[in-house]
Structure formats: structure tokens, C-alpha cells
Structure 1
């Protein structure tokens, strides 16, 4: 049975509104090594510099920028659950309104079996919120459940989409390709694992 394998990777560690840090470049290099044997069909990335720089370090076809792979809020629950208010600070009303439309575009493009029946291996270099949105969708969870999912920098999530079957979450937030000192970046400090 042919399938679309969707590889989701959060960008590498970056300075605020900037490109990759030295650690972020190293994370992207480790991700590139991890994906070295994957026959990627496409690489799509967010318009933000940190995602573009991560994608540029990965093997496979030339990366393509796409707005719907960007950094946005995919869904705002009403009311917002206690403790999650901080996730919605700093976004304009227009950005919060555009988020669900972009999220629907992303799911419509990638959260479906291959349109021509051929096996596909598509990689999207994106941000934590969109990784969480795809995982929530694959599990058939209510829309507000994206709030409880976190993705580390350059961690790998893989979802399989096959005709006539529900999506299969094969890998979530896998950091096994990253050395210990590069794991857990991008997580809030209280969620980081210490050794």
C-alpha cells in the first residue's frame, strides 16, 4: 500500500527574530544526517529565517518556502485554558484570525494520502505550533489539544497517510539523532529534561 510519509521538524535553535545559533546549525546538521537515507520527495519550509536556514542544511530536493508552513496560532480555544494565556500574547487580531486559515491549508496539502498514489516522503521545516496541530489532527483529538504538545528544536515527527486508513503517528518529537547537550532546546525551561 502506498502512502505519504510526512516528516515534521521544528527549526534549529535560533536567536529571537534571527537565524540559527551555532547550536541550531549543529542540530540541523544532525537532522540532515538522520534524514540522509530518506528518499525525500519535497522539502517545504516556513518563511522565517530560522526555518529557511535549517532547510538549507538538509539533504534532498531544493527547499521551497510556503506561508502556511509558518509560525502562527492554528486555533484559539474559547475560553483559553488556564496557564496557556501566554501562548496568545503578542499576536495581533489579524494574525490570530489568519492562523486557522493557514492551518487548514497546511492540513489540506500534507495531511492526506499521496494524490497520485505514488509513495511520497515530504518534509516540512516549521515551528512548534504547526507540529502540534498536525499531531493533534492525526490523533483525531479536539482542536484545543494542540496546546499540550511541544516540539524540541530539530526533533523529528513522522505521520503516515494511507488511502482508506486513519493517519499513523509513527514518531513524535524524536531527538535520538541529537547529542544530549542539543536536546530539549525550544522547550520552556520547566519542561526540559536534565541529566
Structure 2
């Protein structure tokens, strides 16, 4: 049996500005570092063998803090980076809704069937993300690991593990520095945790930065 813990990166400066991030590379905010320390404390003592991370700064900075606390290797994997959102990246959410709201809402409703202008198709994105999960599982078949990544990556990992339609991934909330867990035991994968945020002291319903 093995467990894969999924951590979304801490709050970034673009989360604060309500900008869509995608493949762009903003840094963590001050609060993001604090969130990373809190999730690291939760993971400490669980016997994790390694931390894998997206190379984008908001994830890599989160992962570096976690790996340091856990005293385990940190491995950056390019295919854990967030989905590319093309022309929408860096645009403040209220501007995007005003300018291209119909297309954005259509994409959120059915992201497997639609694509942001110049963005990454969901099928290709999901393929690279799931290939990383298989690689990690093969290398750590009897060990627990941590993947530090992004909101859409986390949603796809959970949805594909459960055999869910990728058009429904935005029905899942994935908060900054939330903790989810996939458990693999033979041919029966389970989701043991999804968007656990108790370690952050977040109030119920208080979740301002869930934009992709």
C-alpha cells in the first residue's frame, strides 16, 4: 500500500490580486510561506519518502519548505506544472469576466470539451499529469510521497483516480496549501482526504483564493 499526498501551493501574490495564473510564475506571498509551514507540520512524522513538485515558483517554494521540514529529497517535475490558460493568464478575474465571461464560464462548466484561447487542451494536460502519478507510484510502490502542485493538477489527479468525468473537476474546491490524499492498495484506489484545510485555521466557507 502507498499514499500520495497532494498539496496545492501556498497563496501567491497573484492569488492576492485575483489574477489567473496558469503556467505563469508568480512567487508566494508572505501568507503563502506561513501556509506552507503549517502543512509541513501536518506532514512531519508521516514517514514520507520524497517530495515531488512543479517547477513553478509558487509550488517549488512551498515544496522546498516542506521537504526541508521532512528532511527528504525534493524532485522537480516539469509535468506537474499548472495547465496553460493561454491569453487568460495574468488577467485579473473581474477583467476576464467583463471581457470574455461567456467563454470563461463555458470552460469552467466543461473544461474537457473547451480550451482557453491559446491554452492547453485538457486531454493533453491530464495525460502528462497522470503520467507523473504513474511514475511516482512505480518508483515508490510501498512508500508514501508528497506532490506539491496546482489547483487544476490536483483536481485531475483526484478525478482520474476515481474515474470521474473531467468536465466535472470544477465541482471540487482545492484551496491554497490544502491537503488531499490518494491511497493505493492493489487495484482499489481511494481518496482519503480532499481539500483538508483544518491546519490553516480557515473558517468554514472562508476560501478567497480558489481561482486556477
TM score, norm. by length of structure 1 = 0.77
Counterpart among 34, 37, 46 of residue 29 in structure 1:
37
Of 6, 10, 13, the residue aligned with 1:12 is: 10
CA contact (8 A) 2:181 2:194 kept: yes
Q: Distance in 2 between matches of 1:25 and 1:116?
A: 29
Gaps of 5+ in 2: 15-24, 86-101
Matches within 5 A, 1:72-111: 72=83, 83-85=105-107, 91=116, 93=118, 95-97=119-121, 100-110=123-133
Spell out structure 1 runs of 4+ moving beyond 4 A.
86-92, 111-114
CA contact (8 A) 1:43 1:64 kept: yes
What is the distance in 2 between the residues matched to 1:53 and 1:113?
20
Q: Partner of 1:13: helix, strand, or coil?
A: coil
Deviation at 1:146, TM superposition (A): 1.4
Structure 1 residue aligned with 2:63, among 49, 55, 59?
A: 55
Cα deviation, 1:5-34, whole Å, max 9, x if unaligned, reads 011010000112421111101000000100
TM norm structure 2: 0.72
Contact 2:107 2:116 in 1 (8 A): no
CA RMSD of aligned residues (A): 3.0
Q: How far apart are residue 81 of structure 1 and its match?
A: 9.2
Task: Tell me the secondary structure at the aligned position of residue 131 of structure 2.
Answer: helix
Does the 8 Å CA contact 2:13/2:26 hold for their aligned counterparts?
Answer: yes
1:114 CA drift (Å) = 4.3
The reply to whether residue 156 of structure 1 matches residue 179 of structure 2 is: yes
Paired residue for 2:46?
38
Contact 1:153 1:185 in 2 (8 A): no
Matched residues, number: 177
- 1:85-123 superposed Cα distances (whole Å, 9 cap, x missing partner): 369799553x414x5334323323325894378521111
